Amino acid sequence: MFKKILIANRGEIACRVIKTAKKMGILTVAVYSDADKDARHVELADEAVHIGGSASRDSYLQADRIIAACKKTGAEAVHPGYGFLSENEAFARKVEEEGIVFIGPKHHSIAAMGDKIASKKLANEAKVNTIPGWNDAIESAERAVEIAKDIGYPVMIKASAGGGGKGLRVAFNDKEAFEGFTSCRNEARNSFGDDRVFIEKFVEEPRHIEIQVLGDAHGHVIYLNERECSIQRRHQKVIEEAPSPFISDATRRAMGEQAVALAKAVDYQSAGTVEFVVGKDQSFYFLEMNTRLQVEHPVTEAITGLDLVELMIRVAAGEPLPLAQQDVKREGWAIECRINAEDPFRNFLPSTGRLVRFQPPKETMFSADTEHLYGVRVDTGVYDGGEIPMFYDSMIAKLIVHGRDRAHAIALMREALNGFVIRGISSNIPFQAALLAHPKFVSGDFNTGFIAEHYGKGFHAEDVPHDDPDFLVALAAFVHRRYRARASGISGQLEGHGVKVGEQFVAVVLDERGQHVHKSVSVTDFHGQTGSSVVAVGSNSYQIDSRAPLGSIRVEGLVNGRAFTAQVERGAGKNPLALRVSHNGTQIETMVLSPLGAQLLSLMPYKAPPDLSKFLMSPMPGLLVEVSVQPGQQVQAGEKLAVIEAMKMENVLFATQDGVVGHIAAARGESLAVDQIIMEFA
């Protein structure tokens, strides 16, 4: 077994690999960029080596520097994690040539599966179902139309070297096939330097289901069940679960056996994933093979009780697999939500900056530990007070739950999301909460078009209906009454003039348009020591019990005998006097006032928000990479004004109306905050 390994990655996956290595008694070496000098993976590792600038092309993609770091520290093996160089055949070969072990498949396996056209031919030879299509590069748009007609519409036009949704079009007729081929080819040439394009049948109502495989150097390959990854936004997975609520046992076995056949055909020696597209009739076709550990590997770990990182390390060290196919378990149901630094209410734009608060829900399962199952696990590479840099992808944590069945896992996940406190940056937690509550998700009736179909026009606060909105008002009144009780006990009060707290209040809820909705509330049977009150909101009554310390964001307790977790903050929203309450993805801001206070508030004049239409403001934190106009320039609606870059994503800002550029307030190369003014129009 290795004495020391280097992790050629960052963030949560680097931390995840370090935990398994520690469990196995292996020393670890971290590598880091300028932006990551204070990162969590650097702190967790036994030693760390600086490998370059903040941008990944200057650090984590520098193969020679990573190999030099191995030699300098005496690391015998490299774990590449996922992303960066994990599926780079040249890197794997170079590592092997330098006498260092690559903790992953052999370079020839990566090469065989890395090219979509070559991998499809191999799959055909291994008798793996492949989508009907034309697997050779197509020379012209006219030929593409002929082929599309032969296959039968709809067809999918894909770049051979594509990935992440780039170089991909769906065509339903000759015109779309002609135009789609041309744009795919151009996009592929610009993005990947490879303009080969192929065409295949487009599967309707498709589901994205993948099989986890594991092979060793002794010719053994097994499959560890499947993962359902159909909940995707712009080809990026959002929620993953294992097993799939859709496929039958017969389909699972057939998919697993074909995945094993493909892995054996390329002499696969490590953990890998064979991805399939599955039609509504359970017909399944090979998509591609990911020759690395997947982001969503924890859901497989939960249902099988196996540590996949440990098995990868053992296989790389030459050990045979410790189990056979019949030993693979499938117990309970696991779900993973990717917690991303993005603002769902601003079209999922990246959100970078300091994590003012980062308090994950209480963990009962832990990465690298399969002794504790059925519960909650958080895999992350960040910490309270840490910085989310703009140079890498937006995922800051993975929230994993393992339940007895699917309904239990969904309930566990909703409660865990309620208790996940993230402040200082925006996160996609409200969106995840909405997905988990959607009746179609709950019933398991979804496909890869689910998010586009239900949230095609963006995500809005009203997309998260709460099953009991008055509970949020009751909780605000309960917490306010506790604050008033504390204030009433202040020392030095004049005798006979002490603070008296009544039982009748008015909750003034601020709606989206800043309008006030008044609700009569009473808080009776108040017990300061036991943290118990009866709160009436209109005709609804709530017995709330909670001993959460005042000032803590996370509030846990019982309401009418049922457990709940919510988040309550004072002065966190637009109004410094309001309490902000969040539960099940819904958020309200409410002021809890005495009846007289509410009456006086209603007499206050309405303050209209300022007119910001003459300013161009940054919709997200990021780097201003281009200013496309000059002061005094006449611009028309739709004209490009500026380009901002953050988290591997470019955002082009266009003029919303005709006008003349006045003052330009930000310069190219400047780091911008959200809503920072870039330019003003005359």
In tens, the pLDDT along 117-162 reads 789 889 999 999 988 888 788 889 999 999 999 988 889 898 877 6
Top-tier CATH class for 469-489+500-601: alpha beta
Q: What is the pTM of this model?
A: 0.87
Active site residue 288: yes
Encode pLDDT of 353-374 as tens digits: 899 999 999 999 999 999 999 9
Q: Is 147 helix (H, G, I), strand (E, B) or coil?
A: helix
- Residue 357 CA to residue 343 CA, distance in Å, equals 16
- Region 629-637 average pLDDT: 94
* Tokens read off for 460: 């809005």
Model pLDDT, residue 27: 98
Task: Categorize the per-residue pLDDT at 28 as very low, low, confident or very high, splitting at 50, 70 and 90.
Answer: very high
pLDDT > 70 fraction of the chain, expressed in percent and rounded: 98
Nearest-CA neighbor of 160 among 134, 197, 124? 197
The pLDDT of residue 68 is 97
Q: To the nearest 10°, report the CA torsion of 625, 626, 631, 633.
A: -160
- CA distances to 67, 241, 259, 403 from 5, rounded to whole Å, are 12, 30, 29, 34
Give the pLDDT mean for 488-507.
83
CATH 3.30.470.20 fits 207-459, yes or no: yes
Looking at residue 355, what DSSP letter applies? -
* pLDDT > 90 in the chain, percent: 73
Q: Are 243 and 333 in contact (CB under 8 A)?
A: yes
Query: Which residue among 288, 310, 336, 589 is the active-site one?
Result: 288
Cα gap 523→42, rounded to integer Å: 50
The pLDDT tens digits for 165-218 are 667 888 999 999 999 998 888 888 877 778 888 898 888 889 999 999 999 999
Please list the helix, strand and coil fractions of the chain in percent, rounded to the nearest 5, in that order. 30, 35, 40
Interval 89-114 mean pLDDT: 95
Query: How many C-beta atoms surround the C-beta of residue 39 within 10 A?
Result: 23
Query: Exposed, middle or buried: residue 229 (CB in 10 Å: 0-12, 13-18, 19+)?
Result: buried
- DSSP, res 604: S
The CA distance from 675 to 353, in Å, is 14
Lowest mean pLDDT among 128-137, 342-351, 386-395: 128-137
List the structure tokens of 107.
């370079």
State the average pLDDT over residues 509-527.
80
Mean pLDDT to the nearest integer, 660-671: 93
Of the candidates 399, 432, 427, the residue with the CA atom closest to the CA atom of residue 585: 432
ω into 206 cis (within 30 of 0): no
Whose tokens are 């774990």? That residue is 79
Angle subtended at Cα 653 by Cα 647 and Cα 657, rounded to the nearest 5 degrees: 160
Binned at pLDDT 50, 70 and 90, residue 485 comes out as confident
Q: Using CA atoms, how far apart are residues 261 and 268, in angstroms rounded to an integer?
A: 10
Domain 4-103 - what CATH class? alpha beta
Residue extents of the structural domains in the chain: 4-103, 133-201, 207-459, 469-489+500-601, 615-681
Q: What is the pLDDT of residue 160?
A: 77
Residues 125, 295: Cα–Cα separation, whole Å: 29
Residue-averaged pLDDT of the chain: 92
- pLDDT tier at 575 (50, 70, 90 boundaries)? confident
Distance CA 496, CA 493 (A): 9
- The whole-number pLDDT of residue 651 equals 87
Residue 507 has pLDDT above 80, yes or no: yes
Q: Give phi and psi for 139, each to the nearest 5.
A: -85, -25
- The closest of 270, 233, 145 to 448, measured between CA atoms, is 233
Q: What is the mean pLDDT of residues 620-629?
A: 92
Q: Is residue 54 a contact partner of residue 389, using CB atoms and an 8 Å limit?
A: yes
Structure tokens at 254: 């057939």
Residue 111 sits at the vertex; the CA angle it makes with 107 and 112, to the nearest 5 degrees, is: 120
Which tokens hold the place of 138? Answer: 């197509």
- Amino acid 134: pLDDT: 80
Closest CA to 93 of 82, 102, 84: 102
Q: What is the pLDDT of residue 163?
A: 60
Would you call 107 helix, strand, or coil by DSSP? helix
Beta strand residue intervals within 546-593, DSSP E: 554-559, 562-570, 579-583, 586-593
Instruction: Say what angle helices 174-192 and 141-151 make with each other, to 10 degrees.
Output: 120
CATH code linked to domain 133-201: 3.30.1490.20
Mode of pairing for the β-strands spanning 166-171 and 155-163: antiparallel
Alpha carbon distance 211, 217 (integer Å) = 20
pLDDT computed for residue 529 by the predictor: 61
CATH of segment(s) 615-681: 2.40.50.100
